[in-house]
Amino acid sequence: MMSEGNNDGLMSDINVTPFVDVMLVLLIIFMVTAPMMIHGVNVSLPEATLQPIPSEKEHLVVTINTENELYINDFRVEFDFLQEKLRKIFENRTDREVYLRADKRIPYGMVVRVMSELKGAGVEKLGMVTEPFSQDKKNKAKTAK
């Protein structure tokens, strides 16, 4: 004879409460840690055009040469004073646009440090000065493959 109070059979319902609790904890962890993992420098990249930059006004150009020396247009500036000098320049200017020229052999870290200083000085638009890719370089790149 079987007793009515014994429920040794399998339960067919899934208990989702622990599953929901774990998912909510994971969601909160990811929401808190995701912003901390993103490091970068916000840059408004210029669109590539074939025409030269219009020279109606004098452009502010920051240059990094092969010896890691910094120049604002033609005047040499120490890295520690770059932000201060740019802030002084921007006091008399309405636009906060700067073009960055860097030698291709400069380490990427140095370029990012300078970009960070430019951003800290209040630069709103940052353009990168490059040389056009010549037809000779294109041919060399194709033959190298």
Flag whether 141 is in a domain: no
Label residue 133 by pLDDT band (50, 70, 90). low
Q: Given this model, what pLDDT does residue 58 score? A: 74
- Spatial distance between the Cα atoms of 75 and 61, rounded to a whole number of angstroms: 10
Contact present, 48 and 84 (Cβ < 8 Å) = no
Residues sharing a CB contact under 8 Å with residue 125, sequence separation 6 or more, in sequence order: 44, 46, 95, 96, 97, 98
What mean pLDDT is reported for the chain? 76
Label residue 44 by pLDDT band (50, 70, 90). very low
Q: What is the pLDDT of residues 61-109, one digit of tens each?
A: 898 888 888 988 888 899 899 999 988 988 888 888 889 888 878 888 8
* Tokens read off for 74: 């033609």
Q: Given this model, what pLDDT does residue 54 score? A: 58
Rg (CA), the chain: 29
The DSSP element (H or E) to which 71 belongs, if any, is strand 70-72
Q: Given this model, what pLDDT does residue 106 score? A: 83
**Length of the chain in terms of residues written:** 145
* Tokens read off for 21: 């609790």
Flag whether 25 is in a domain: no
Flag whether 139 is in a domain: no
**52-56 mean pLDDT:** 58
Phi and psi angles of residue 77, each rounded to the nearest 5 degrees, phi first: -135, 140
Flag whether 134 is in a domain: no
**37-48 mean pLDDT:** 49
Label residue 53 by pLDDT band (50, 70, 90). low
Q: Given this model, what pLDDT does residue 52 score? A: 58
Alpha-helical (H) ranges within 13-134 are 17-37, 82-90, 108-120
Flag whether 54 is in a domain: no
Flag whether 51 is in a domain: no
**pTM for this entry:** 0.55
Q: How far is CA 98 from CA 11, 25, 62, 88, in A?
A: 69, 45, 7, 14
Of 125 and 34, the one with more pLDDT: 125
Domain enclosing residue 68, as ranges: 60-128
Flag whether 65 is in a domain: yes
Flag whether 86 is in a domain: yes
Q: Given this model, what pLDDT does residue 5 score? A: 57
Domain total in the chain: 1
103: domain CATH number is 3.30.420.270
Contact present, 89 and 122 (Cβ < 8 Å) = no
